[in-house]
Structure 1
């Protein structure tokens, strides 16, 4: 028995040492790649207020890591930005697609059709396209101003060209709409036949956008609403209450029927849901089918509210943030959803205080953004400390030795033989 105990300790130390790796990026305040005296001028005229910039989303494409900063307050130069992966830990942000079009004009208006006003999270697809859902508002915490209509923007990342911009209208939006994330399904080998699934956290709906049809429609379900029993949070020593609805969704690989499953959850909930895109793609799907079309997979347990999730195609594992636990959970889609198969694989009250977004890239790496959002919204932050971090590690390393790991055929046979004996 003692011989078995030693390797178990080694495995535990190896696995949990992942949280101790230095962050790939970290910032006390978010700063930008200004030229000359532009920074001082921006601070003077109020277009840049360093302590008002808080990142919420990320996505990797080749040598770029996109970082989003919603316009919570005034003084945000650009909402959609990127850093170079080979940069320093406190690498400055570059507005996307460029300085001129990535920022608002002095009077607060958009400069061009490619200007993104305010976005929470973005998505990079396998066709080298960047999908952005723009809420179009500024100064969300005070005097909310609708700068432009909410819209979906699709960029060609190889050329930075705007491929498509689709304006979302009152048919799919509500006065309380807050668009938080976007998942993209590509049908077949034709990149043009794509569907975007946008979570409307504020009015509890999924907005479906068909690029091929250049059309959008709204899907509602009672499971998209928050759970009153899961609205209490405590993060960074701060207690708060949120009634946020569906805020994040991620897609499985296509199934035999040609459709994917959209795995989704409200922020203020501990339950995981699933819905086939067979229903979501059908604009005229009967309401009864929509009502019965969302499946409860299981419950993650107490204090397991999640802001974001993503599926790593290389391991078929769903990763999700664990806000109240300052950590990251996972679930292998090939296994039953239960306590044993949904472990907390990372947790660090310093490095991962308020994990806000998680993304798997196409090279088997996971990217996690933590941003101390509860302090930013409800209490003054200490900007002499590091507040914002990006952590990254190979997905296979993160799940090694956990219930999320894909087990080999031989290990399963070995376990079966042990049970028989």
Structure 2
């Protein structure tokens, strides 16, 4: 019994330390594994400007870790890249699927091939070993915006690194203000029957793409808009205001529908500039001809995460039924066990570190039950200045079971009860100490 209590105390203290998630990878600035063209000539030509490269998205597939770099500014050699899982902590990035496909043609009209990704924020790996990318097709976004190619959904076979499909999104589903920030994929009975859900942060919509019919449509709802009361941020000492709409979505476990006789999921969603959590049944999203009234009434307000809880990204762990989300203003990660009621107590901040997690931008749960977090100091990159003598970009990882242990997101077990006992004891000790002081 004593050993179990001591172990619980050790884990509780360890969780509260900044060392829970030591960086798996970290960089002062991002470098690339240049091949035919040397690094020096790439810098001389302006193809590569180290300080203009900032990562925003991650995903793991087997021994690869994908890292995305939007073309915010000039000098980004490749938007879609990967590194080796067991490689060095500061290894250079490798363009995907190849150097030839990754580089732009030098013209403002077109891409080198259908496999070229101009600018992507976040990507998704599905259970059929496919990489799904939503490409905005825009370069130099922070300055003189250049539309290199039409926005598109691009799908790769990860076993062969070959392109499966490039679907160009039509003007019917886009708006002049469209900014496509992420993508999540719902597979039905087999790999050929899949739907992708793409948040359009700039024009407050979700774009649905059907792989089976190779068709896309637009879904709008007033809950996809930003909350003006949640547009103020302070991260890394930088104050800024965002009016970003729905930016990240995640899929729940499938559930049986008694009327249709087959499974649907809930799509969890939130605008970046909001503290509220919403959900919507994929039964509505998959129906291109669903009525506007059903869409209007189809979004459910799950609850409010509380003050300063704006999040760029979220992901769902189907094993534990936990929804994870980044916490920008708190430099950390929060979670909600969807088997429990949505409340402030059940939405704890489980990891926080002002240095390691300054601006947590993306979060993923891989198929082996590990959580992956990318922090990138984006507020400094966009609105202030970066010190490239310091470590600026980090990827951290740990098993889901480790990061939620002893928190409200953990399933209630005998060990969980022991953790609660430890926490209560710690609280009482602090209260007694306060009285003594």
TM-score by length of 2: 0.91
Contact 1:332 1:341 in 2 (8 A): yes
Q: Does residue 1:197 correspond to 2:202, yes or no?
A: no
The answer for the alignment partner of 2:182 in structure 1 is 181
Unaligned regions of 5+ residues in structure 2, if any?
Answer: 258-262, 421-437
The answer for the alignment partner of 2:209 in structure 1 is 209
Contact 1:18 1:398 in 2 (8 A): no
**Mapping of 1:257-272 within 5 angstroms?**
257=257, 258-272=263-277
The answer for the alignment partner of 1:41 in structure 2 is 41
**Cα distance change of structure 1 residues 39 and 222 upon mapping to structure 2, 3 Å threshold:** same
Take 1:151 and 1:107, find their aligned partners in 2: how far apart are those partners?
A: 18
The answer for the alignment partner of 1:171 in structure 2 is 172
Take 1:212 and 1:244, find their aligned partners in 2: how far apart are those partners?
A: 31
Contact 2:180 2:202 in 1 (8 A): yes
CA-to-aligned-CA distance 1:194-236 (integer Å, 9 cap, x gap):
0000000000000000010111000000000000000000000
Take 1:83 and 1:105, find their aligned partners in 2: how far apart are those partners?
A: 24
The answer for the alignment partner of 1:93 in structure 2 is 93
The answer for the alignment partner of 2:137 in structure 1 is 136
Deviation at 1:86, TM superposition (A): 1.0
The answer for the alignment partner of 2:433 in structure 1 is none
Take 1:294 and 1:394, find their aligned partners in 2: how far apart are those partners?
A: 32
Contact 1:19 1:346 in 2 (8 A): no
Q: Does residue 1:273 correspond to 2:278, yes or no?
A: yes
Deviation at 1:10, TM superposition (A): 3.1
2:229 alignment partner, SS class? helix
Deviation at 1:6, TM superposition (A): 7.0
The answer for the alignment partner of 1:161 in structure 2 is 162
Q: Does residue 1:30 correspond to 2:30, yes or no?
A: yes
The answer for the alignment partner of 2:106 in structure 1 is 106
Take 1:114 and 1:341, find their aligned partners in 2: how far apart are those partners?
A: 43
Take 2:226 and 2:395, find their aligned partners in 1: how far apart are those partners?
A: 28
The answer for the alignment partner of 1:239 in structure 2 is 239
**Mapping of 1:4-403 within 5 angstroms?**
9-17=9-17, 19-35=19-35, 38-107=38-107, 109-188=110-189, 190-257=190-257, 258-403=263-408
1:181 alignment partner, SS class? coil
CA RMSD in angstroms, aligned pairs only: 1.9
Deviation at 1:336, TM superposition (A): 0.4
Take 2:331 and 2:415, find their aligned partners in 1: how far apart are those partners?
A: 35
